[in-house]
Amino acid sequence: NQPKNFICTADDMYFVFIEEKKHTEILALYDPMTGEHVHYVKLSYPAYKEITLMVTIPKQPYLIGLIDSEKGIVMNVRDKKVHLTLPKWGGQISSNGRYGLYAPTCVFDIMAFFTPTNEHVIYYHKGKRTIRVFRAKDGPQLVDMKCPAKVRQGTATNDGRILVVGYEDGAIQAFLIVDRSDESMVDYLRSWRIHQLQSTVEPERQETAERQLE
């Protein structure tokens, strides 16, 4: 049977596939180095629903997230046991594995994710065409901005300071994430402004020097 979905667990411990066996969905585990089959995991936990998404749990090589329309299940694929049940969890998780997001989709689709540093949460609502930024540790909203067009994709740089947004019309914008509670942000903004000034002034100086030589 063709697998419906697959992931690789943290530390590349297992390849995990969703397969159908005798009209029942199961997890099939394989060794990523040798390709050998390890074992099957029956999905017979209470209130089981069709899995729509599988996610890797960072720093937990034996745990994966199984997401359905109502909840998220954290499964220990080595011991074949449910580790945790999280109502309404949609599969978004911080890179350190400590926090998850619940961002429900109603009439309009949404996009929500942690920045790579786990310091902020980015939330986009397709109906309102707004991007909101929240501080993850205590929850306050830092910004709510209207987008010029529908957002197709968004991501943050590895240092968590810049949000890059791609729109359906092909345009791309980059935004600085300014958090006043972060004291290092003042120095970062100062150096960024100096860099912006130098990148503007230097070409003008060069052009002026070339004119004088002529």
Mean pLDDT of the chain: 85
Angle at CA 193, nearest 5°, toward 191 and 198?
95
Range(s) of the chain covered by CATH 2.40.10:
1-91
pLDDT of residue 122: 94
Q: Which residue in this structure is represented by tokens 């961002």?
A: 103
φ, ψ for residue 157 (rounded to 5)?
Answer: -70, 165
pLDDT tens readout for residues 18-49: 988 878 888 999 999 999 999 999 988 888 88
Adjacent-strand bridge partners of 37 = 30
Q: Which residues of the chain have pLDDT under 50?
A: none
Contact status, residue 68 vs residue 55, Cβ threshold 8 Å: no
Closest CA to 27 of 46, 47, 9: 9
Strand-strand pairing, 24-30 and 141-146: unpaired
pLDDT of residue 69: 84
pLDDT of residue 121: 94
Closest CA to 145 of 160, 133, 154: 133
pLDDT of residue 197: 57
pLDDT of residue 27: 92
pLDDT of residue 99: 86
- At the topology level, CATH places domain 1-91 in Thrombin, subunit H (2.40.10)
pLDDT of residue 145: 92
pLDDT of residue 180: 81
d(CA 194, CA 158): 22
d(CA 198, CA 196): 5
